[in-house]
Amino acid sequence: MTSHAPIVRAVELANLADERIRLVDGERTRDRLFQGHLSWRRLRSGLSLHCSDCQLQDFATQTEARPHLNFILFLQGRSEVSYDGRPFTFGTSGTAGEGVTIALNEPMLFARRARRGQRIRKVSVSLAPEWFESSGFDGQAQLKALLQGNYRPLNVMRWQPSPRLLTLAEQVLHPGCGNRLLENLYLESRALEIAGEALSLMTRQPTQAVPNLRPHEHQRIRRTLELLHSGEADGWSLEDIAHEVGCCASTLQRQFQAAKGTSLFEYQRQRKLQQAREALERQGVSVGQAAWIAGYSSAANFSTAFKRAFGISPKQVRARL
């Protein structure tokens, strides 16, 4: 990234994104957040395109994400995000790229953590419900299943992008048309081609129906999440948590899997690993202390799990301080 690349500061971020993004870390309006090229475009009603080719600084953001179907092509770098507290690390540390599809079926709090020195190159195509309705696709059974995520509030799929998709992403990052109208038409055609090929990959995969949760079951999951995020349930067994929320262990496990797309303890494991990473970066704790925060008695086992989750070892995180 050259020193002549554009700089995006905190005060400019919300205007660029055209959405209510809140900075929760690095809030000084003169702070440098990105250096490079960053764009959000609404190509037509319900169809938007976000492109990033930039170097990151340390900051965190939050926004209220509305229902949409999102196709993300990561060409370089990783992205640490969460939906209603459920953590994910997307992207690639190599050259193969990664494709991610996110079907969000109800509003959720979306949070992102950026790391200083990280390079990110990605393209994101977002289709909102109004795009499907205006395009006449809302009645298609397969698309409905994708949008509803088999009745889950959030459905996430990872896939290997084809060489054609990677080429399309590069074209979107560097359109070079000059004329704004022609450029928008060019980008819209490429965005729809990206969405079309990604949808084709998804519809070829078998799906299994997941039971819809009743209102009181959603309330049970919310109470479970409160216990996990408050730390009150640290060290509890599945049976202890189930007793606290008024059901048996097997019922809680099934309902949690349906609501969050992962098991309760895998969710807790990923959340605690994220806490350990933040302690390493912000407080400079030792690897042993970070292992304890994440609930590991063995620093070696913690390091293995940490590297599998984030693509970097705890010692490498501490070395950046």
Architecture of the structural domain at 7-203: Sandwich (2.60)
Could you report how far apart the first and last alpha carbons of the chain are, in Å? 22
CATH number of 215-319: 1.10.10.60
Q: In the chain, which segments carry CATH 1.10.10.60? A: 215-319
pLDDT on residue 6:
72
- 8 A C-beta contact, residue 78 and residue 93: yes
Nearest CA among 260, 225, 258, 274 for reference residue 89: 274
Spans of the chain, pLDDT less than 70: 1-5, 10-19, 25-30, 93-96, 136-151, 176-178, 201-212, 261, 311, 319-321
pTM for the structure as a whole? 0.62
Q: How far apart are CA 32 and CA 9, in angstroms?
A: 4
Q: Is 141 left (phi over 0), alpha (psi -120 to 50) or beta?
A: alpha
Q: How far apart are CA 104 and CA 82, in angstroms?
A: 12
pLDDT on residue 252:
94
Q: Can you say how many angstroms the Cα of residue 199 is from the centroid of all Cα atoms in its chain? A: 18
Structure tokens at 54: 């930039």
Q: In the chain, which segments carry CATH 2.60.120.10? A: 7-203
- 8 A C-beta contact, residue 259 and residue 213: yes
pLDDT on residue 137:
63
